[in-house]
Amino acid sequence: MNDFVYAHTDPAELEEYREQVRSWMSENMPRRNHDNPWHPTHDDDAQSSRNRELQRRLYDGGYAAVCYPREYGGQSLTIGHQRIIDEVSMDFDMPLLFSVPTLSITGPTVLEFGTEEQKQRYIPAWIRGDELWVQFMSEPSSGSDMAGALTRADRDGDVFILNGSKIWSTFAQRSDYALLLARTNWEVPKHRGLTMFIVPIHHPGIEIHPIQMVDRTEEFCQEFFNDAIIPAANVVGQVDDGWTVASRLLFHERAAVGGASPYTQGRHRNRSADGLEDLAAMARRNGGTDLGRMRQILGRMETLSRVDRLLSRRVVRGIESGYFPAPAGSLVRLSHGLTQAERQTAAAEFQRDRALVWNPGESTGAYGVDFVQRQQSCIGGGTTEMARNIISERVMGMPREPAADRDLPFNQVPRSG
Ligand SMILES: Cc1cc2nc3c(=O)[nH]c(=O)nc-3n(C[C@H](O)[C@H](O)[C@H](O)COP(=O)(O)OP(=O)(O)OC[C@H]3O[C@@H](n4cnc5c(N)ncnc54)[C@H](O)[C@@H]3O)c2cc1C
């Protein structure tokens, strides 16, 4: 972690910065439509190029990824500066596709473990809006058990040959590079034979198949690797020590989804409005006879959201300072997943039947779609069940779940197929 990120900043200086950001955004970023936050579109190409253009605007103005070091295209500013950008940008369209995972998950992982050459080559390209990244971690046979990866990378001189399959990668078809975890050594226990790679996505030997969801969007993809050749220079960290890199990637993911990462940019989502202000506005619009019940739900959501936000900050800062063990990041993941799912349930309830049936052009259907998909926040980035396991075993010190494959060389682990 770069020391400047958590350096103390004079509050007066931050207020001056807020004015600068507000004035620059008013002149340079498109306003967000709060009344119609959902822009139903299946045209992901348009969404991707719009995000690239907005990211470039932020970069030109000096407001992109400000917590990245200046030598790689950031501004070497503090998390306080980034939070001001986040607050002001609630009123503007932001390039959220760059925020997660490029800048806040894969980004800090490369910043921590990448070679100087990798950092010089890739980081400025994200911050300028030139390249989007994705994570190739989950596999058809191992999602929760990420260390059980079967995708293999076999060394051949200066290159590795990649074979296997990854799945559930968000917007891989619109991305340029991925961080990929592959098995490079089958003769050691599962956590000790993995390596992290930077993989160009649109590359010979890599096929990308978008997966159509029930609402006809294609958010996820499955990838197939058939003798794809990846230079050894693309290894991130050490060969066979990919679990160390993956563990930090998971930490950054928990910080990002828990709202405590210094590297996320902008807070709202493009689709249905899920901020508390939006819930309150919705409650006022749809008040009617149930106002008392709506107030109760709003009160509960306000409490949960505050606890979630403060918990996130405390845990992430505690891990960075060594006060908490790294697995405590699962507290953030658990709290955020549950809070988010409950918020989406509340939003759908406030919309009443308009979340189920809506007229063309109305945005209320987004809340119905979000309600149906509310479990996403309890699955993506590791499930809440796995978070509970980690908290009990590695934070509270309870006995570990039995695992027959923990100490066995991976090629001796019985598996089907
Ligand atoms: C919105 C979203 C975005 C995602 N984006 C990406 C991405 O960009 N890149 C990527 O690689 N992956 C991505 N994923 C995939 C995600 O990481 C996996 O879905 C997740 O890790 C769970 O793995 P699985 O789907 O294989 O479920 P499984 O591991 O098969 O689990 C099935 C069920 O069993 C439970 N379970 C499994 N093991 C245990 C255990 N030991 N104890 C208790 N319960 C257990 C799980 O909690 C779950 O309920 C995304 C998923 C979502 C929902």
Q: Can you tell me which atom of ligand 1 is nearest the CA of 389?
A: 42
Tokens representing 222 are: 């499955």
**In the predicted structure, residue 106 carries a pLDDT above the cut 70:** yes
In a domain, 349, yes or no: yes
Give the integer Cα–Cα distance in Å for 381 and 196.
17
Q: Give the number of the atom of ligand 1 that is nearest the alpha carbon of residue 145.
A: 29
* Total structural domains within the chain: 3
Q: Choose one of 144, 222, 334 to mutate for the ligand 1 pocket test, by most ligand atoms within 8 angstroms of C-beta.
A: 144
Per-residue model confidence (pLDDT) at position 295: 84
Supply the residue whose CA is at minimum distance from atom 40 of ligand 1.
386
Residue 174 lies inside a defined structural domain of this protein: yes
Same domain, yes or no, for 227 and 286? Answer: no
260 domain-assigned: no
How sure is the predictor about 240, in pLDDT bands with cuts at 50, 70 and 90? Answer: very high
Let me know: does 176 contact 201? Beta carbons within 8 Å. Answer: yes
Residue 39: its pLDDT value, please?
Answer: 46
Which pLDDT band holds residue 254 (cuts at 50, 70, 90)? confident
**What are the tokens at 278?**
């939006």
CA distance 282 to 346: 10
pLDDT-derived band at 271, boundaries 50, 70, 90: very low
Average pLDDT, the chain: 89
What burial class does residue 210 get, using C-beta atoms within 10 Å of its C-beta: 0-12 exposed, 13-18 middle, 19+ buried?
middle
HEC string for 326-378 = HHHHHHHHHHHHHHHHHHHHHHHHHHHHHHCCCCCCCCCHHHHHHHHCHHHHH
Separation CA 145–CA 265 (nearest Å): 30
**pLDDT for the residue 117:** 98
168 touches ligand 1 (CB under 6 Å): yes
Does any ligand 1 atom lie closer than 6 A to the CB of residue 169?
A: yes
* pLDDT value, residue 402: 87
CA dihedral 123, 127, 130, 135 (to 10 degrees): 60
Query: pLDDT tens across 143-165, in order?
Result: 999 999 999 999 999 999 999 99
pLDDT at 217: 81
Q: Are 195 and 184 in contact (CB under 8 A)?
A: yes
Q: Measuring CA to CA, which residue among 1, 105, 401, 369 is closest to residue 213? A: 369
CA dist 367 and 365 (Å) reads: 5
Task: Specify if 295 maps to a domain.
Answer: yes
Q: Is the CB of 173 under 6 A from ligand 1?
A: no
The pLDDT of 66-81, averaged and rounded, is 96
**Are both 167 and 219 inside the same structural domain?**
yes
Band (pLDDT 50/70/90 cuts) for residue 276 is low
Atom of ligand 1 nearest to the CA of 142: 26
> For residue 172, which atom of ligand 1 is closest to its CA?
8
105 CB under 6 A from ligand 1? no
In this predicted structure, what is the pLDDT of residue 368? 85
Residues 157 and 238 in one domain: yes
Residue with tokens 């990649």: 162
CA of 143 to the centre of ligand 1 (A): 5
Q: Whose CA is nearest to atom 32 of ligand 1?
A: 144
Choice from 100, 105, 136, 168 to test ligand 1 binding pocket (greatest atom count within 8 A of CB)? 168
The ligand 1 atom at the shortest distance from the C-alpha of residue 146 is 21
How far is residue 75 CA from its own chain's centroid?
22
**How many Cβ atoms are within 10 Å of 409's Cβ, its own excluded?**
15
What is the spatial distance between Cα 35 and Cα 165, in angstroms, rounded to a whole number? 41
Q: Are residues 362 and 280 in the same domain?
A: yes
Quick: pLDDT tens for 173-216. Answer: 999 999 999 999 999 999 999 999 999 999 999 999 999 987 77
The band of 275, judged by pLDDT with boundaries at 50, 70 and 90, is: low
Candidate from 334, 379, 388 with most ligand 1 atoms within 8 A of CB, to mutate: 379
Residue 73 sits in the same domain as residue 22? yes
- Tell me the mean pLDDT in the region 288-306: 82
Ligand 1 atom having least distance to the Cα of 166 = 11
Instruction: Tell me: pLDDT of 218 over 90.
Output: no
More confident of the two residues 339 and 358: 339
pLDDT at 269 over 80: no
299 and 363 fall within a common domain: yes
CATH number where 19 lies: 1.10.540
Is the CB of 73 within 6 Å of ligand 1? no
pLDDT score recorded for residue 361: 73
Task: Compute, in angstroms, the gap from residue 383 CA to the centroid of ligand 1.
Answer: 5
Other CB atoms within a 10 A radius of the CB of residue 348 amount to 22
Q: Are residues 291 and 225 in the same domain?
A: no
- At position 392, the amino acid (one-letter code) is S
Range of the domain at 314: 272-395
Strands 152-156 and 159-170: antiparallel
User: Residue 133 forms beta bridges with which residues?
Assistant: 177
What pLDDT is attached to residue 281? 77
Mean pLDDT across the stretch 18-45?
A: 77
- Regarding the beta carbon of 383 and ligand 1, being less than 6 Å apart is answered yes
pLDDT for the residue 414: 86
pLDDT of residue 8: 84
Q: Is residue 107 part of a domain?
A: no
Q: Are residues 378 and 286 in the same domain?
A: yes
Distance (angstroms) between ligand 1 centre and the Cα of 161 equals: 26
- The radius of gyration computed from the CA coordinates of the chain, to the nearest angstrom, equals 22
Q: Is 385 in the pocket of ligand 1 (CB under 6 A)?
A: yes
For residues 287 and 391, membership in a common domain is answered with: yes
Residues 49 and 151 in one domain: no
Ligand 1: distance of its center to the CA of 380 in Å? 6
- Domain contains 413: no
pLDDT at 118 over 60: yes
Whether 194 and 183 have beta carbons less than 8 Å apart is answered as: yes
- DSSP string covering 291-304, please? HHHHHHHHHHHHHH
pLDDT at residue 270 above 60?
A: no
More confident residue, 95 or 255: 95
Whether residue 231 sits in one domain with residue 336: no
Q: Are residues 225 and 290 in the same domain?
A: no
Look up residue 210 and give its two tokens.
Answer: 């978008």
Asked if residue 55 is part of any domain, the answer here is yes
Atom number, ligand 1, closest to the C-alpha of residue 144: 29
100 lines ligand 1 (CB under 6 A): no
CATH of the domain at 188: 2.40.110.10
**CA 68/CA 103 separation, integer angstroms:** 9
The secondary element (H helix, E strand) that includes residue 177 is: strand 177-183
Residues 6+ apart with CB under 8 A from 288: none
Q: What pLDDT is recorded for position 36? A: 52
* Ligand 1 within 6 A of CB of 171: no
Taking every pair of C-alpha atoms in the chain, what is the biggest distance, in angstroms?
A: 72
Specify the range with the lowest mean pLDDT, choosing from 309-318, 320-329, 362-371: 362-371
Mean pLDDT of 378-387: 92
273 confidence band (pLDDT: 50, 70, 90) = very low
**Could you give the C-alpha distances from 285 to 39, 280, 408, in angstroms and in order?**
20, 9, 60
Record the tokens describing residue 101, joined without a space: 């995972």
- Would you state the pLDDT for residue 417? 62
pTM for the full model? 0.92
User: Which sign, positive or negative, has the C-alpha torsion 224, 178, 337, 277?
Assistant: negative
CA 412 to chain centre: 34
CA dihedral 65, 67, 71, 73 (to 10 degrees): 10
Single residue among 87, 108, 130 that ends a domain in this structure: 130
The structure tokens listed for 180 are 């990929």
